[in-house]
Amino acid sequence: MKSRSKMLVKLGYKAGRSRAFRGSDDFFDEFIDILTNLGGIYAKFLQGILLGFAVTKGQKLNPKQLDVFEDNIDPEMGLQAINDALGTSASRVSVTNTIPIGVGSYSAVYQGKLDGHRPIIIKILKPHILEEIKYDLKFLKKLAYILKLSGIKIAAVDIGQFYGSFKKACIKETDFPREIEFAHELYERYKNHPTIVIPETIMELCNERVIVQDRVDGISVKTLVELRLKENEDIVEMIRENYDTDLAEMIRELTFELFYSLTSGKAFHGDLHPGNIRILPNNRIAILDFGIRAEPYAQSIVAAVINKFESDNLFIQGDLDLVRTLDAHFRVYMANLYSSIDSLLSYYKIDVRVFFTKFAESIGINTESIPDSKRKEWHSHGPAYMMNDLLKGSEKYGIEVKVKDQTAQRAISTQFSLIKALGVRDEVLPAVYERVCSLVRKEQPDLFSKKKTIMPDIALENVYVWLEKVNSTNPELANKLRSSLDQEVISAAIV
């Protein structure tokens, strides 16, 4: 415990003194080294940071950064300890090897056979893990504060929100009865699916510390990411030759199931990082480890999410309409402010895009003068990268990203990171966006016929509060933004 405290104090001192995290590779490398060495919950937190950083900053993960996705193999648990955890089920299970095939932040996984012939895995919760998590989360909270000061965003969600979501996920991941139930739910949903494979959970052998499931072979997507980024391997061709499988098609199917489920009222796997996905022969893809459940988006925000999907699809296809992209991001990530502005302008039959056009001008962005090189950079890295690039120091604009459905957003952000790491964005996302948006609009038309409106007095107050935040840091900008709104609407509240 003392060594952890010492390392974290050292890291906090350097970040607090220099605030150099935003642009310092040396500091970033040291940050990675410390959290990787600490392992456990710190390494899991770092996985989310790295994948999000790769998306919003447009950077490839180097070999050192990829090491955090490696399993940290602990000393073997011992056959007696494994049998003790299995309890009465031990008589039916034979452990193949007491050296784990994988060690996560909270558990270790062993190979075995059920009734002497059925290949299985045995996932065992580490002893005393709940006490360790409680202790470690206190330090991560302080780290999250340091990162927030340094301006790091994780796939459009600020670090403070990421920590809050991560904390809840940590607690849920140690709830084995909940994980068992969710794994069984997904197995029943996909047991006849031609592409998606969910291992069967042998319910009668599981308990509060143990999960027993069918073993899944194949190649880990983590291995594919490493081959591509470390060795520049053509992983698409490799998978086609060795597994007779279309990698892009498999990621496309998985991404569709994720996006469609979360916009159609169904929960889905909430942590599809490379280590939790395996590519199988004959065009099949398997999902492992069901500790994080992503709850579906609330119906009230589904229309905004679909609108953003459609905007992002146009972006990927080369239509870098800045006003449309701003509109789509505000509508999802600053929903209350967006609805307030839209409601006020709608009263005077003014399109909300007029405001975002003037907003872009107010913060010094002239869309016609953006050089082609910058447009190519944005197109290469995606809309989240462009927004991060344009709104650096977003506190100057009073922007506070708020996402109610954090598990859904975290799952989708992780999937974006995975797609980028595999280099299959253009082969995957356009087709998924078109398919999901078409289905959701067809199946839930009422969501798109209703428009959320806010009472004028409440909308006015929301806009007033926002402009006051802007005014506190940038009065000149606040004045420009005031003029971007209909003066007759806000004059009663703005002095």
Distance CA 306, CA 303 (A): 5
**Cα 336 to chain centroid, rounded:** 22
Q: Would you say residue 360 lies in a domain? A: yes
Q: Would you say residue 426 lies in a domain? A: no
Q: Find out whether 133 and 171 touch, Cβ atoms under 8 Å.
A: yes
User: Are 42 and 13 found together in one domain?
Assistant: yes
Q: What is the pLDDT of residue 124?
A: 94
User: ∠42-155-159 over CA atoms, to 5°?
Assistant: 50
Q: Would you say residue 231 lies in a domain? A: no
Q: Find out whether 83 and 110 touch, Cβ atoms under 8 Å.
A: no
CA 31, 34, 37, 38 torsion-angle sign: negative
Confidence of residue 20 (pLDDT cuts 50, 70, 90): very low
From 172, 200, 230, give the residue that closes a domain: 172
Q: Find out whether 436 and 297 touch, Cβ atoms under 8 Å.
A: no
8, containing H or E segment: helix 2-18
**Which amino acid type is present at position 252?**
R
369 or 280, greater pLDDT: 280
User: Are 357 and 370 found together in one domain?
Assistant: yes
Q: Would you say residue 332 lies in a domain? A: yes
Taking only the tens place, the pLDDT of each residue in 314-350 is 999 999 999 999 999 999 988 999 999 998 888 778 8
User: Are 205 and 147 found together in one domain?
Assistant: no
**Which amino acid type is present at position 406?**
Q
Distance CA 449, CA 286 (A): 37
DSSP letter at 155 equals: T
**CATH code of the domain containing 207:** 3.30.200.20
User: Are 356 and 386 found together in one domain?
Assistant: yes
Number of residues that make up the chain = 495
User: Are 146 and 61 found together in one domain?
Assistant: yes
Closest alpha carbon to 51 in 37, 39, 69, 33: 69
> 């490839």: which residue's tokens?
60
Q: Would you say residue 410 lies in a domain? A: no
Closest alpha carbon to 207 in 233, 186, 179, 232: 179
Percent of the chain topping pLDDT 90: 46
Taking only the tens place, the pLDDT of each residue in 84-113 is 999 998 999 999 988 998 887 788 999 999
Q: Would you say residue 192 lies in a domain? A: yes
Q: What is the pLDDT of residue 156?
A: 43
User: Are 136 and 122 found together in one domain?
Assistant: no
Q: Find out whether 411 and 258 touch, Cβ atoms under 8 Å.
A: yes
From 139, 172, 205, give the residue that closes a domain: 172
Range of the domain at 198: 79-127+179-214
Distance CA 311, CA 293 (A): 27
User: Are 383 and 466 found together in one domain?
Assistant: yes
120 or 71, greater pLDDT: 120
Phi, psi for residue 216 in degrees, rounded to 5: -115, 125
Q: Find out whether 138 and 123 touch, Cβ atoms under 8 Å.
A: no
User: Are 156 and 12 found together in one domain?
Assistant: yes
Confidence of residue 479 (pLDDT cuts 50, 70, 90): confident
Secondary structure of residue 243 in the 3-state scheme = helix
Q: What is the pLDDT of residue 190?
A: 98
Q: Find out whether 353 and 323 touch, Cβ atoms under 8 Å.
A: yes
Q: What is the pLDDT of residue 155?
A: 41
| Counted domains in the chain | 3
User: Are 366 and 380 found together in one domain?
Assistant: yes
Q: Would you say residue 430 lies in a domain? A: no
Q: How far is CA 227 from CA 46, 235, 372, in A?
A: 21, 7, 32
User: Are 396 and 348 found together in one domain?
Assistant: yes
User: Are 120 and 55 found together in one domain?
Assistant: no
- DSSP for 385-400? HHHHHHTTTGGGGT--
The answer, yes or no, to whether residue 306 has pLDDT greater than 60, is yes
User: Are 85 and 113 found together in one domain?
Assistant: yes
The answer, yes or no, to whether residue 216 has pLDDT greater than 70, is yes
Distance CA 11, CA 17 (A): 10
The number of helices, as runs of H, and strands, as runs of E, in the chain is: 23, 13
Q: Would you say residue 276 lies in a domain? A: no
Residue 284 pairs in a beta bridge with: 280
Distance CA 332, CA 406 (A): 12
Taking only the tens place, the pLDDT of each residue in 106-149 is 889 999 999 999 999 999 988 778 778 888 888 888 777 766 66
Confidence of residue 51 (pLDDT cuts 50, 70, 90): low
Distance CA 408, CA 268 (A): 8
